[in-house]
Amino acid sequence: MVFKQEYLHLNNGNKIPAVAVVGTGTRWYKSEETSATFSKPLVEQIKYALTLPGIIHIDAAEIYRTYSEVGEALKEAGRAREEIFITDKYSTFYFKLTDSPRQCLDISCQKMGVDYVDLFLLHSPFIDEKKYGFTLEEAWTQMEELYKAGKAKNIGVSNFSKEDLSRILKSGTIKPQVNQIEFSPFLQNQTPGIYDFCQKHDILLEAYSPLGPLQREPENSSSDPFYQYVKKLADKYQKSEASIILRWVSKRGVLPVTTSSKPQRVRDAQLLYDFDLQNSEVEEITKRGLAHAPLRLYWAEQMGKFDAEAQKL
Ligand SMILES: NC(=O)C1=CN([C@@H]2O[C@H](COP(=O)(O)OP(=O)(O)OC[C@H]3O[C@@H](n4cnc5c(N)ncnc54)[C@H](OP(=O)(O)O)[C@@H]3O)[C@@H](O)[C@H]2O)C=CC1
């Protein structure tokens, strides 16, 4: 099999590798970063990913406290910087870990042993001016400065609603390239209308927790029309059910951000584009997903109020 690197296009003319295979949050997340919590399995997993063909897209964030593992893996793997795409995120809302996006990026680059990141995001729109000393609009101005300085090759946001995006589209001079949100067949609009809004404004959506339906698969899934159909496609294409769902995400024009502790699953994700779904199959997964109750794994406290609209297109 000849590997062909797939890209998606960003609104600034840059390209982004079409799947992120090593999310360093969720199962790798740590509440403190010490030598005792250093995760050798994560280092090994990133190193394994770095043996795969193509550009390896790693999703990092300040709040995950896993920069040291990323840095160690990059050092040991010794792969060319251009063959690695690093996303990083400035922590907002829950914890203020550093004083500003600029300070965050200085520290993260130093810990990861790189001079720049490929994509830098504001982790959420929930910036309390009293706590942070700046507003959402001012945070975005700082992101723009990092972009202009070349420390972040692309900039964007995460967990932003239409209203949050409208604020920075109005105040800023650079449009966010990306909005990373929770997106799966069971959560097709994290906040009302966000899918259409991002498509219309040419802001690439990235899907975190795309495998929510498998993470929370019920015992009786074999009698559920959604799971039955995904299984049928998995048999048809000789792929895992995870690959079917990740490919569905990509066919919806959304970039999947996934992770696994199992090498085979990381490999399957990196080779995601070696098969295709038919449009009718994509539509059927969309339809059966929408018929399912919403499943929201993150930010439920802030966004749970939108559950009734999360499964409407
Ligand atoms: N911006 C934000 O606010 C957020 C961003 N993220 C980012 O997104 C990344 C991915 O999020 P996550 O929710 O983990 O993504 P996924 O939905 O891809 O879930 C990954 C989990 O599903 C399991 N899994 C993988 N393949 C399969 C399979 N074939 N069958 C069943 N289970 C499977 C994995 O377990 P196993 O190890 O056993 O394979 C892993 O724990 C995070 O690491 C983080 O980088 C996540 C949450 C919030």
Quote the ligand 1 centre to 133 CA distance (angstroms): 33
Looking at ligand 1, which residue's alpha carbon is closest to its atom 35?
260
Q: How far is CA 139 from CA 45, 126, 132, in A?
A: 33, 11, 9
The overall pTM is greater than 0.95: yes
E-strand stretches of the chain? 7-9, 15-17, 22-23, 56-59, 84-90, 119-122, 155-158, 178-182, 204-208, 255-257
Half-sphere exposure of 107 (CA within 13 A, CB side): 19
In the chain, the domains with their CATH numbers are 7-308 (3.20.20.100)
The residue to mutate among 180, 215, 240, 246, having the most atoms of ligand 1 within 8 angstroms of its beta carbon, is 215
Tokens in use for 148?
A: 């202009």
pLDDT, the chain, mean? 96
- The response to whether residue 232 sits with its C-beta less than 6 Å from ligand 1 reads no
Q: pLDDT (tens digit, 9 = 90+) per residue, 3-60? A: 999 999 999 999 999 999 999 998 899 889 889 999 999 999 999 999 999 999 999 9
Strand order in the sheet with 84-90: 22-23, 56-59, 84-90, 119-122, 155-158, 178-182, 204-208, 255-257
- The response to whether residue 259 sits with its C-beta less than 6 Å from ligand 1 reads yes
| 8 Å CB contact between 45 and 266 | yes
Q: pLDDT (tens digit, 9 = 90+) per residue, 109-149? A: 999 999 999 999 999 999 999 999 999 999 999 999 999 99
Q: What is the pLDDT of residue 94?
A: 73
- What mean pLDDT is predicted for residues 258-280? 97
Quote the ligand 1 centre to 42 CA distance (angstroms): 13
Q: What is the pLDDT of residue 132?
A: 93
Q: Which helix (H) or strand (E) holds 142?
A: helix 136-148
Q: Minimal CA–CA distance to 65: which of 22, 97, 92?
A: 97
- What mean pLDDT is predicted for residues 66-81? 97
- The response to whether residue 87 sits with its C-beta less than 6 Å from ligand 1 reads no
- The response to whether residue 121 sits with its C-beta less than 6 Å from ligand 1 reads no
Residue 96: which pLDDT band, with cuts at 50, 70 and 90?
confident
57 is in an annotated binding site: no
